[in-house]
Structure 1
Amino acid sequence: MKQLGLLIRLIIGIIAGILIGMCGHWFGIADTAFFVTIIRLLATFTSLFSTFLSFMIPLIILSFITVGMAELGKKANRLFGLTLLLAYGTTVISGLLTFFIGKAVLPGLIQPITGDVLESNAFEPLFSITVDPIFGVMTALVLAFVLGIGMANLKGDSLL
């Protein structure tokens, strides 16, 4: 399983989740306490992992970008503007393309879902923990660039 790429493992996980969810209806056990408990355990794991990931993403961004900018050294000053322009330019262009393609294609593929269907298929986790991120993703990006450029211009590598 470790030899499979991340994308393949994600697709396998999604298919497994769909099959587990459909097994309840196929075998007529969708309303049993055992099946509902299993689904709620999986929903609890998903909730906890999502909370942890939301907490960690800004910290990962901060650490990797800061170290990357600092290791560039004096070249970081020149590359900063180019990197910023490239990153935000491609983000805006891909966002606009996604919006317009989605607006054109998705209405023909997606059917409206009524509130009854949404409420009947929702499983609450057994418990949830709220852990707010220390700061947002944009704050992490700006702080990482500032710290990275600062460390690149310092003499010595004690901060790095």
Structure 2
Amino acid sequence: MKLIGKLVIGIIAGILIGLLNINFVTQFFVTIKDIFGQFIGFIIPFIILFFIAAGVSKLGNKSGKMVGATVGTAYASTILAGIFAFIIAITVMPLINATERSVPEEGSGVEGFLALEIEPLMGVITALAMAFLFGIGIAKTNSQSLMKIFDEGKNIIDLVISKVIIPFLPVYIAGIFVELAAEGAVFDTLQVFGVVLLVAIISHWLWITIQFVTAGTLTKQNPFALMKNMLPAYFTGLGTMSSAATIPVTLKQTKKNNVREDVANFGVPLCATIHLSGSVITIVACAVAVMHVLGDYTVPTFGEMLPVIMMLGIIMIAAPGVPGGAIMAALGVLTTMLGFGEAAMGLMIALYMAQDSFGTATNVTGDGAINVIVNRFAKKEDGSEASNSSEVG
């Protein structure tokens, strides 16, 4: 059974257990939720440290201009996608009737059997600073021994995510919904989140259109023809829920959009790692929804949210290539910059996983648009170099 099916079963089971509200059983699931939430918080800095350091260290052997153009374009797309999602979310959320809604609060209601605190070894910002320090250092010095350490560390954390965290998520999500149901807030929460998921998916489609209209305008190509060529990548991403697994299809379809082979061969695999505009749209929209639903949060202003979106764009470099990897990496930003607690984290994971396939499809389709834009930059640079050569001759 696919992960999304297991998560749905976990949500339904959690609701039923919470509604029955048998004290011992309810406390048992809340205890599991609390401990697993602490473990996720412990792992987050390692995700950021090893994945970003390993990724940045590999950029040293590439052309500086090509790296700059691809990374800059991908980052701009991710940031603008987050801003786009935030504007839509703060516009839509007040339209949802909240006057009669029961609002759960962080740290209130059912308590577990024990309070186990697993302190992270470092903060998220410290992990981020160390990742760039060592990543850039390895790229500049070509230190094979350090590169091997970070690559092996990345493999270990990837194993923990794929073999421990992801398989246990249905139980964790069940614990979240046991608590919500026991507090009488579960149906109002589900009603709001159903609307948010629909808004997120529509936002994905709108953002894909914006990306290709921009790419088509810059390269004087028909944007809808470009989008049509990328449809196989979209549907492959929808099925695999993995940008990495979709690379062969994305690469093939990107070349059909008149992107040079050398540009596509470099840009598509790189964008699969650093360009997650669809994921950021979902994370931002769902974060606004969670703050709207839970009683202890105030939705930030645009000025307050912009640094969060910019940090998410950087953190997405650390997103593991597994289903739900982006939200695992983003939890560090949400907890430190927005103050999300365990209930908010659990709801974010449940929401994100419910649409993960659509977010991944948006990511890989957008990679095609990024490479069309970078291809124009590469052609311009080649033309400039050719012109300079003829002048010299």
Distance in 2, Cα, partners of 1:76 & 1:11: 45
2:116 maps to amino acid: I
The answer as to 2:13 corresponding to 1:16 is yes
User: 1:118: how far off?
Assistant: 6.0
User: 1:138: how far off?
Assistant: 3.1
1:125 maps to amino acid: G
For structure 1, the 5+ residue unaligned runs are 25-29
User: 1:44: how far off?
Assistant: 0.6
User: 1:61: how far off?
Assistant: 1.5
Which of 38, 49, 56 is the equivalent residue of 2:36?
A: 49
Match of 1:124 in 2: 111
**Which structure features the higher share of helix residues?**
2
Q: Structure 1, residues 9-43: CA drift from partner, whole Å, max 9, x if none?
A: 33332232122222x1xxxxx3xxxx111111100
Distance in 2, Cα, partners of 1:141 & 1:72: 17
User: 1:147: how far off?
Assistant: 0.7
The answer as to 2:79 corresponding to 1:103 is no
The answer as to 2:23 corresponding to 1:36 is yes
Distance in 2, Cα, partners of 1:143 & 1:84: 21
Residues 106-115 or 136-145, more deviating: 106-115
The answer as to 2:74 corresponding to 1:74 is no
Match of 1:83 in 2: 71
1:37 maps to amino acid: F
Shift in CA distance, 85/133, structure 1 to aligned 2, threshold 3 Å: farther
Distance in 2, Cα, partners of 1:77 & 1:101: 36
Q: TM-score, normalised by structure 1?
A: 0.71
Which of 120, 128, 131 is the equivalent residue of 1:133?
A: 120
User: 1:123: how far off?
Assistant: 0.8
Match of 2:144 in 1: 157
Distance in 2, Cα, partners of 1:131 & 1:81: 41
Q: Give the conservation status (yes or no) of the 8 Å contact 1:74–1:152.
A: yes
Distance in 1, Cα, partners of 2:24 & 2:63: 53
Q: Give the conservation status (yes or no) of the 8 Å contact 1:76–1:149.
A: no
User: 1:56: how far off?
Assistant: 0.6
4+ residue segments displaced more than 6 Å: none
Q: Give the conservation status (yes or no) of the 8 Å contact 1:151–1:159.
A: yes
User: 1:95: how far off?
Assistant: 3.6
1:18 maps to amino acid: I
Shift in CA distance, 118/75, structure 1 to aligned 2, threshold 3 Å: closer
Q: Give the conservation status (yes or no) of the 8 Å contact 1:69–1:76.
A: no
User: 1:91: how far off?
Assistant: 5.0
Distance in 2, Cα, partners of 1:10 & 1:80: 39
Match of 2:331 in 1: none
Larger RCO (CA under 8 A, 6+ residues apart): 1
Residues 128-137 or 48-57, more deviating: 128-137
Q: Give the conservation status (yes or no) of the 8 Å contact 1:74–1:153.
A: no
- 1:132 aligned counterpart, secondary structure: coil
- 1:67 aligned counterpart, secondary structure: helix
The answer as to 2:80 corresponding to 1:93 is yes
Aligned-residue sequence identity (percent) comes to 35
Root mean square deviation of aligned Cα: 3.0
